[in-house]
Structure 1
Amino acid sequence: MKRLSEKYGPIFTIHLGPQKVVVLYGYDVVKEALIDQADDFSGRGDLPLFKRLFKGAGIVTSNGETWKQLRRFALSTLRDFGMGKRSIEERIQEEAHFLVERIRSTHEKPFNPGRFLIHAVSNIICSIVFGDRFDYEDKKFLNLIYLIDENNDLQSSMRTQLYNFFPTLMDYSPGPHQKLIKNTEEVDTFILEIIAQHKENWDPSCPRDFVDAFLHKIDQEKGNGHSEFTVESLTRSTLDLFLAGTGTTSTTLRHALLILQKYPEIQEKVQKEIDGVIGRDRRPCMADRSQMPYTDAVIHEIQRFIDFLPLNVPHAVIKDTKFRNYLIPKDTMIFPLLTPILHDSKEFPNPEKFDPGHFLNANGTFKKSDLFMPFSAGKRICAGEGLARMELFIFLTSILQNFTLKPVVDHKDIDITPIISTLANMPRPYEVSFVPR
């Protein structure tokens, strides 16, 4: 993409098999599309793998009136059940406490913390969507976490990526993409079981969570033959929230713990700031963040450096759209790339290097950047951005408040460059010891 942009400029067309895709390369052109012409570029690109997995019926992959109504309902309902409020912060603090105690039980033995992190992060979205957290020993929950973890690996395989080029052919071809599809169907079944349980003891006058609120909306719209609120859209929306609320933040935390092993001096500076602002006994809270510019800068730099979704989630234009000197036909898929924004060398000098100084002023205060957009921008900006920011800060500071990360190899030999894939950049597998402070 970089080489093509150097030859053709910030707007060019590529082909995914038979499908044309317009690529937007660089901050100015992405901002112009997603923010200045937000409505025109508010469609969701019809990526074959997404279509196969999510059937275009949920919040993330739907379009038109379906998307507008489901997203509006989801945002208002998630707020009703605590997202962005003090109550959800308390849930994250409680879950961080459970996570710390679980890590403590490993008694400094090296292990891969991925599953622990997925469990903890997943329980936050579960408490909002399903009304309760799951015990770490719950067998169904453990199986669910295993499926999500396995899918993280499967999505980076070559055959899975080829699905977007030749979906019809790949549907009949064996390979890891078939396992990815099967795993997602199993997660779907888990969600359908929870919905069925909710229906059995559902009280419309007292909704307990997102599923209850959606069931109430379905009941309200029974007479409407064109309602967007159906059991299928409930299942798909719940799946969207569950997967988005589990995978992205837990993977970012996995990256974070690997990076901090590589740079013990950065870890030490964060711990010094934690000790000075929070101490060793009190639980970290969001009010602490404004007094912890270095920690805030480190978290921002982690998100910038790992470049979690390099291509962004595909967009589409909802009508024939004039853009700069071009006319983009309706429904054309758009890739508003995040990599060239998060790795812009003018904004972030030496962007391939991990450096918290990218987000610090000369006097040590936190420095904001318009080019920090790991959650994308515009109408399709991540609905869970506020929740993710809370989770990253509270989970990471809780871990570093209680433990020092001890790598199993020399820290100079740790490779922190992500495993590159089409959809998401994943951290390399690793083990680490958590030494109590």
Structure 2
Amino acid sequence: MAYATALLALLDIRTALVGLLAFLVLSWALRRPRNLPPGPWEWPLLGSLPTLALASGEPYEVFLKMSKKYGPIFTLSILGQRIVVVHGYDAIKDAFQNPSLNDRPESHMITNMLDGSVGIASASGKVWKEQRKLSLNVFKNFGVGKSSFEDQIAREAEQLVYEMVNFKQKSFNPTKLFSTSVSTIIASVIFGKRYDYDDPEFQKILAGIGRNMELIGAGAAMQFLPVTKYLGFLPSMREMQSNITTTVNFTKNIIKNHVKEFNPDDMRDFMDMYINEMKEKEDQRVETVLSLNNLVSVINDLFVAGSETTATTLRWGLLYMMLHPEVQTRVQQEIDTVVGRNRMPKLSNKPDMPYTEAVILELQRLGNIVPLGVPHRASRDTSYRGYTLPKDCFIISNQWALHTDPELFPEPEKFNPERFLNEAGEVFSPDEFIPFGIGRRVCPGEQLAKMELFIFFTYLLHQFTFKKPVDSPPLTVKGHLGITLAPQPYQVCAVPR
């Protein structure tokens, strides 16, 4: 009798578990949005996570393989978050020019660490529009991205040359030098101050930002998942928190001093102009998102966006020049022919240096430093190419796949600057080449980045020939994926010309 009772109890437990499982599966199936793009099987609760975990390769490589099976537009779900991955120029363009697909997901990880402060990169709606418009106007007033700003970039390029000369042809890792030189340019606009290469506080900030770029993860997509707000106990999250706290305190101290010293008749830098606009709107009782709290995030966004991508591209530049000395020699010959040896290159020389410009474009294509772009978010249910993208889903563009498409770029793995030159030897950049993104959320610092890349790259090759140290490990173009795709650490020798 006792045995029969125990058996019945066990059967009841099993029945209950089966019923619970059936309920979860049915609930998941009923809640799944209709008319979604195709995609792999999704497990209840976990979604596509097991599929992705078992796949080999970097996320952008995995997504490209999936596109071969499911088509250029497919859908995934990760822990309840719907994600749509888009391949191909036309599909990416259609998505990112759609006003309903131009919001940003909330960066739960960063927002929590910044006490709710919102900047530009992860903002949407009025917050994004007002702060982006102000930032662009301020940069315009300071001449950023215009030829009048060239002298400031040139001074930092000259300082970088000086720093490299000091190594006296001995091997060094250029990461810190590039990070400092490029960051100093944007710092002078934002903070109104130039920081020396040996400034300990500034170097600590740069080191923290660089480390967080590695910790955030592939294409920055993971930081937007709601689950990240509950992962503060992880060692990597605690390290990020520490780095962000250091940067925030650094920024807040500068803001505090700017507020104290504020003079509406003397606009020294970006901070002054932001504070001035904020005060004017408050005095006029005009509704505004501008605040000292949000200014912290705006500065963080501008500082990171204005330094990390350019510095990483320059690191790829030296790496490929060591791997392709024939290309390096040809660039040097063009510089010498157009510029000569008695002065440094200028932006006005750029039209007469098509091969050098083509090399820079090829560096951006192969470097692919933002391989999955920055995620967008649907602000409402949106009809897109025959599918329905549900409100709050993420849209990710596989720019790596686009820039390595053999139909657009034959032999895509080959370093070939000539692909950006037409039959007349003029620079030609196809529409499908979008290193700065596309649509309304295109990188606002595109013009500044182009100026910096040209000036830094030509200054360096005018002054040096870059060679691999004899005793250093073999060079590799296999990148390390954090928030950007960066080269593996390497050593280089700068041999004066």
Shorter-chain TM-score bucket reads over 0.9
What is the CA deviation profile of residues 57-82 of structure 1, one whole-angstrom value per residue up to 9, with x for unaligned ones? Answer: 10111111111111111111111011
1:118, 1:246 within 8 Å by CA — same for their partners in 2? yes
Matched, 1:29 2:91: yes
Per-residue deviation at 1:150?
Answer: 2.5
Percent identity for Structure 1 against Structure 2: 36
Shift of 1:217: 1.2
Which structure would you say has the larger Rg? 2
8 A contact 1:109–1:434 mirrored in 2:
yes
Instruction: Give 1:193 shift.
Output: 1.1
Report Cα offsets for 1:90-149 as digits up to 9, x if no partner: 100111111111111111110101111111101110111111211222221122222223
**Structure 1 position 180, deviation (Å):** 2.0
- Which one-letter code corresponds to 1:85 in the other structure? K
Distance of aligned partners of 1:281 and 1:153 in 2 relative to their CA distance in 1, 3 Å threshold: farther
The one-letter amino acid of 2:159's match is F
What is the rounded CA distance, in whole Å, between the counterparts of 2:298 and 2:453 in structure 1?
A: 23
| Aligned pair partner of 2:189 in 128, 133, 140 | 128
- Structure 2: distance between partners of 1:378 and 1:67: 15
Number of the residue aligned with 1:58? 119
Indicate if the aligned counterparts of 1:115 and 1:149 stay in contact, CA closer than 8 A: no
* Matched letter for residue 188 of structure 1: V
Gaps of 5+ in 2: 1-62
**Which amino acid in the other structure matches residue 306 of structure 1?**
G
Kindly state the Cα deviation for residue 360 of structure 1 after the two structures are TM-superposed: 1.6
Which of the numbers 243, 259, 278 marks the counterpart of 1:183? 243
> 1:18-417 counterparts in 2 under 5 A?
18-35=80-97, 37=98, 39-52=99-112, 55=116, 57-156=118-217, 164=225, 166-173=227-234, 175-223=235-283, 224=285, 226-409=287-470, 413-417=474-478
Given that residues 157 and 456 in structure 2 are in contact (C-alpha distance below 8 angstroms), is that contact kept between their aligned partners in structure 1? yes
Distance 1:236 1:428, change over 3 A: same
Spell out, residue by residue over 1:207-260, the C-alpha distance to the aligned partner (whole angstroms, 9 max, x if none): 111100011012112254842010011111011101111111111111111111
Aligned AA (1:346): E
Two-structure CA RMSD over aligned residues (Å):
2.2
Answer yes or no: is the 8 Å Cα contact 1:27–1:340 preserved in 2.
Answer: no
Cα distance in structure 1, aligned partners of 2:112 and 2:404: 32
Assess if the C-alpha contact under 8 Å between 2:364 and 2:435 holds in 1: yes
Distance 1:68 1:370 in 2: 26
- Structure 1 residue identity aligned to 2:121: V
Name the CA distance, whole Å, in 2 between partners of 1:356 and 1:411.
27
Describe the shift of the 1:434–1:216 C-alpha distance in structure 2 as closer, same or farther (beyond 3 A).
same
Conserved in 2, the CA contact under 8 Å of 1:46 and 1:333? Answer: no
Contact 2:219 2:371 in 1 (8 A): no
1-structure distance, mates of 2:113, 2:332: 41
Q: Say whether the 8 Å CA contact 1:51–1:61 is kept in structure 2.
A: no
| Aligned-pair CA distance for 1:329 | 2.1
**Cα distance between partner residues in 2 of 1:154 and 1:320:** 32
Alpha carbons of 1:389 and 1:7: their partners in 2 closer, same or farther (altered >3 Å)? same
The one-letter code sitting in structure 1 at the alignment partner of 2:243 is: N
Taking the aligned partners of 1:61 and 1:402, their CA distance within structure 2 comes to 40
- Asked whether the equivalents of residues 117 and 294 of structure 2 are also in contact (C-alpha less than 8 Å), the reply is no
* CA positional deviation for 1:335: 0.7
Give the deviation of 1:387 after TM superposition: 0.3
The CA deviation at 1:48 is: 3.7
Cα distance in 2 for residues equivalent to 1:343 and 1:74: 33
Q: Is the 8 A contact 1:34 1:378 kept in 2?
A: yes
Q: Is the 8 A contact 2:370 2:399 kept in 1?
A: yes
Aligned-partner SS, 1:281 = coil
Cα gap change, 1:206 to 1:163, in 2 (>3 Å): closer
1:318-347: per-residue Cα shift (whole Å, max 9, x none)?
A: 222111111222222111221122112111
- For residue 424 of structure 1, the aligned residue among 468, 484, 490 is 484
Q: One-letter code of the match for 1:87?
A: S
Letter matched to residue 492 of structure 2? V
1:3 partnered with 2:65: yes
- Structure 2 counterpart SS, 1:125: helix
Letter of the aligned partner of 1:29 in structure 2? A
Query: 2-side partners of 1:288 and 1:144: how far apart?
Result: 35
* 8 Å CA contact retained: 1:20, 1:332: yes
SS at match of 2:184: helix
One-letter code aligned to 2:256? A
After TM superposition, give the deviation of residue 305 of structure 1 in Å.
0.5
Q: Which runs of 5+ in 1 are unaligned?
A: none
- What secondary structure does 1:378 align onto? coil
Q: How many residues align?
A: 433
Q: Supply the distance in 2 between the matched residues of 1:295 and 1:143 (Cα, whole angstroms).
A: 34
Partner of 2:36: none
Q: C-alpha distance in 2, partners of 1:109/1:53?
A: 41
Asked if 1:14 corresponds to 2:76, the answer is: yes
Instruction: Label 1:301 to 1:158 Cα distance change in 2 as closer, same or farther (>3 A).
Output: closer
Contact kept? 2:406, 2:412, Cα under 8 Å: yes
Query: Please, what TM-score do these two structures have when normalized by structure 2?
Result: 0.83
Q: Aligned partners of 1:306, 1:212: CA distance in 2, in Å? A: 36
Tell me, in whole angstroms, the C-alpha distance in 2 between the residues paired with 1:371 and 1:232: 38
CA contact (8 A) 1:255 1:302 kept: yes
